[in-house]
Amino acid sequence: MIQHPNFSTKEWSIFEEIFQPDILAQTESIFALSNGHIGLRGNLDEGEPHGLPGSYLNSVYEQYPIPYGESAYGNPEAGQTIINVTNGKLIRLTVEDEPFDIRYGTIHSHTRELDLRNGILNRRVHWTSPAGQTIKVTSTRLVSFSQRAIAAICYEVEPIDMPMRFVLQSELVANEELLPQSKDPRSSRGIATKLLSEEHQAQETRGLLIHRTSTSGLRIGAGMDHTIEGPSSMKIDADSSPDIARMTVTAQVKPGEKIRLVKFIAYGWSSLRSRPAIHDQVIAALSAALMTGWNGLLSEQRSYLDTFWSQADVELEGDPQIQQAVRFALFHVLQASARAERRPIPAKGLTGPGYDGHTFWDTEIFVLPVLTLTNPSAVADALYWRYSILEQAKERAQQIGLQGAAFPWRTIAGEECSGYWPASVAAFHINADIAYAVVHYIGATGDLEFEEKIGLPLLIETARLWYSLGYEDNAGHFRIDGVTGPDEYSALVDNNSYTNLMAQLNLRSAAEVASRHAQAAKQLQVHDEEIANWLRAAERMFLPYDAERKITPQDETFLEHEIWDFEQTREDQYPLFLHFHYAHLYRKQVVKQADLVLAMQLFSDAFSAEQKARNFEYYEALTVRDSSLSASTQAVLAAEVGQLQLAYDYLGEAAFMDLYNLEHNTQDGLHMASLAGSWTALVEGLGGLRWQDGSLSFMPRLPEKITSLAFRLLFKKCRIRVEIRDTEATYSLLEGESIKVLHHGEEIVLSSDAPITRSIPSINARPKPIQPARREPLRRNPGKMPMQQKSGPLYDKQSVESIDKEGIVPTID
């Protein structure tokens, strides 16, 4: 059975009215809290039942050997996987002699709410034990944005109709038992890991555990302390063992009284610091949190989010479900990045172990553009992490016979972790994706100090890679052969259009920045001849084009392949990579995710309006969206070519990817790129935002059902608000000096004097394009709850039509 969460539609929260144990793992991902450093899945306070326990620290991982049937030169020897660290969330409750366990007794009500305004997870339970004792339990959980090492829980329990003896056991637990993971390659490997105990202690209200990983050599500390309110007769005990630190509160409580326990949890880790240093780091973090207090942490959390929403909020009228979904998405993108502080942003954030906690190109191309215009400091940190692994990338390039830097396709700590090189090493575009993020961050912020210290070496070493990877042919074209582009159903192709456009940008940007910072470039051994070579390669970059069909090929020979037989592909055979060997997929015209269409989004000026319309139409018929990365890009181009309803349909798919588990793997963690994509589909799609060469342009248009759309951006120290309503767009400068932007090609100058309103011209769209059989997106209809088919990213149309007015979601066999 495939089931879906039933969330009430609220503007500023995700509210679960009915507890659904069959989809507990999904909701644990959705209700996860993080600050980019600590990640806590939304497990129940008492720990059981659970779908998948999870407490994570950014970049805390374990290594494992990668087995090969046949060895080959240059294959990575070790992989890396995120690990479940010490669980500090646990608060077990015993009522008289009955454990509080919602699988037993009677649940009168059970609600959970992820509060996007305040950054907290609320839970309310009204329960009667099998022995007849009725209680109310209230908990509020946060992972602090203001104090990076801290999480906290306020837990209250009260009797309803009779005096009761309560025992609360607040714990730190290491080496939790985990269930076997799925065989889906997108899931975690679920390797058995054992944290080795180095220290354990518990005294009065405080507990501490320190462990180290057995192979990766990381030391992890977790501590807890408490403030407790309740009857004066309460008894407090503490005990510890190598994997458990426990604080126990016992009290006799009357109706009208309650126990209120505030638990402060601190984490610290390092590959270098000693056990005493980690011990002191954790104690110091607890001390600061105790001084701040629970109410202080709440206040700091709200203040942080007030600032974020003031510069990032998206408002729309006409579809309250999309409104809820885009704020949910922005909140989780913030959680994945806010306090990562020179650590990576994994594909699943810190919400689950999917993809083994690895970071991919998703970060630079899907997540960082959103953050660049909403929370740019997080972008600087993410790119600083890329800079921190630059030497490893240079070593990797040397190993595979290239100059410059070859960044890993998937990694946690900087080493390549993919054992399948056609889809990893050959996907060289990741190096230019990093350069793209550097260029756009600098263009949006004007951060010249970052440009010189971090951006310059990243651009130089990636440019060197492209110049050594490509070559100039007899016709004078600079070619890049044998690469894999964004579409992972094609591999080892010559002159992938996306890759070549990205490399062209990389080469030109490296030359420009090296010239601007000549002295710093000289220290990196850049000379005039090398800059000239980069510019020549960029100028002569080969970009394939089929003049007869007036189509841009995805790669040089893509259009020569046989088209996949979509009519004979069953619905249950999607996603294709789980049912067909790549040897079959690589020989056909079938697109897993937007590739050439993504190139048109990122390099809008490289294609004419007619080319965009023709290309979009052609690739729509081939793209099966077996990746969560695709829908947002297709939404952007659909909007640009005038297919507004189709853009709206793809917006719905991106926005509901995790809220309704459209890819069947939300239980392993949320899809950060798709979450960011819901913002992209709205702001770059319907809002028509493009930003190239350090300037902003807008070509807004709305589908019929969305009556207004407003969004805020940070750009060049200006805070801008754009509101689109009916056939007009209004631009306001909320903060900063005057700035020029384009509205449908017209230059306007924004100042603080008054908003500027312009009319929106109509567009003559081509006929609606078709999609592969059984892969078309569901037509978005506000008020209807999204659904999924038995496979793939689509929705089940028949089931959607049967949903009643209360939005109750049926199950699908």
Report, as an integer, the average pLDDT of 226-244.
96
Burial bucket for residue 679 (CB in 10 Å: 0-12, 13-18, 19+): buried
Q: What pLDDT score does 184 carry?
A: 58
Q: Model confidence over 781-794: pLDDT tens digits?
A: 887 766 533 333 43
**280, part of any domain:** yes
Cα 346 vs. chain centroid, distance in angstroms?
A: 7
Report, as an integer, the average pLDDT of 119-139: 98
For residue 741, how many C-alpha atoms fall within 13 Å in the half-sphere facing its CB? Answer: 33
Residue 796 pLDDT: 35
pLDDT digits (tens, 9 = 90+) for 109-123: 999 999 999 999 999
Show Cβ contacts of residue 260 under 8 Å, excluding neighbours closer than 6 positions. Answer: 154, 155, 156, 228, 229, 230
Model pLDDT, residue 3: 56
222 in a structural domain:
yes
Residue 138: give its domain's CATH number.
2.70.98.40
> What is the pLDDT at residue 543?
98
In the predicted model, what is the mean pLDDT of residues 580-590?
Answer: 96
User: Which residues, in sequence order, are CB contacts of 584 under 8 Å at separation 6+?
Assistant: none
Distance CA 766, CA 369 (A): 29
Domain count, the chain: 1
Kindly indicate the confidence band of residue 191, based on its pLDDT and cuts at 50, 70 and 90. low
Distance CA 77, CA 81 (A): 14
According to DSSP, the residues that pair with 223 across neighbouring strands are 208, 266
Inform me whether the pLDDT recorded for 537 exceeds 50: yes
- Residue 694: its pLDDT value, please? 83
Q: Residue 177's pLDDT is what?
A: 83
Structural contact between residues 221 and 276, judged by C-beta atoms closer than 8 angstroms:
no
Local structure of 460: helix, strand or coil = helix
Mean pLDDT, the chain, rounded, equals 94
Six-digit token pair at 410?
A: 């998937």
Percent of the chain with pLDDT over 90: 91
The mean pLDDT of 674-701, rounded to a whole number, is 95
Q: Is residue 392 part of a domain?
A: no
Name residue 798's amino acid. Answer: Q
Residue recorded with tokens 């408490």:
226
Residue type, 271: S
| Segment 158-182, tens digit of pLDDT | 999 999 999 999 999 999 987 665 5
How many residues does this entry show for the chain? 813
The 10s digit of each residue's pLDDT in 760-813 is 999 999 999 999 999 999 999 887 766 533 333 433 333 332 222 222 222 222
Average pLDDT of span 221-225: 98
Task: Spell out where 129-195 has E strands.
Answer: 134-143, 150-159, 164-173
Coil/strand/helix, residue 570 = coil
Choose among 303, 356, 363, 360: nearest CA to 333. 363
- Is 385 marked as binding a ligand? no
How much is the average pLDDT of 264-273? 97
| Confidence label for 190 from pLDDT (cuts 50, 70 and 90) | low
The confidence band for 192, taking pLDDT boundaries of 50, 70 and 90, is low
Residue 164 domain-assigned?
A: yes
Tell me how far apart the terminal alpha carbons of the chain are, to the nearest angstrom.
5
The CA distance from 113 to 108, in Å, is 17
- What pLDDT does residue 71 have? 86
404-441 per-position pLDDT tens digit: 999 999 999 999 999 999 999 999 999 999 999 999 99
Q: For residue 115, give its domain range.
A: 7-292
Residue 30 covered by a domain: yes
Residue 361, annotated ligand binder?
A: yes
Predicted local distance difference test score (pLDDT) of residue 788: 38
Task: Determine, yes or no, domain membership for 705.
Answer: no
The catalytic position among 113, 171, 416, 488 is 488
Q: What average pLDDT does this structure show over 339-352?
A: 97
Q: So what's the pLDDT on residue 789?
A: 36
Q: Is 592 known as a binding-site position?
A: yes
Residue 510 lies in a domain: no
- The pLDDT tens digits for 39-72 are 999 999 999 999 999 999 999 999 999 999 888 9
Residue 43, in any domain of the structure? yes
The 10s digit of each residue's pLDDT in 712-737 is 999 999 999 999 998 999 999 999 99
Active site residue 488: yes
- 575: cis peptide before it, omega within 30°? yes
Dihedral angle computed from the Cα positions of residues 95, 15, 625 and 543, in that order, rounded to the nearest 10 degrees:
-120
For residues 23 and 811, the answer to whether their CB atoms sit within 8 Å is no
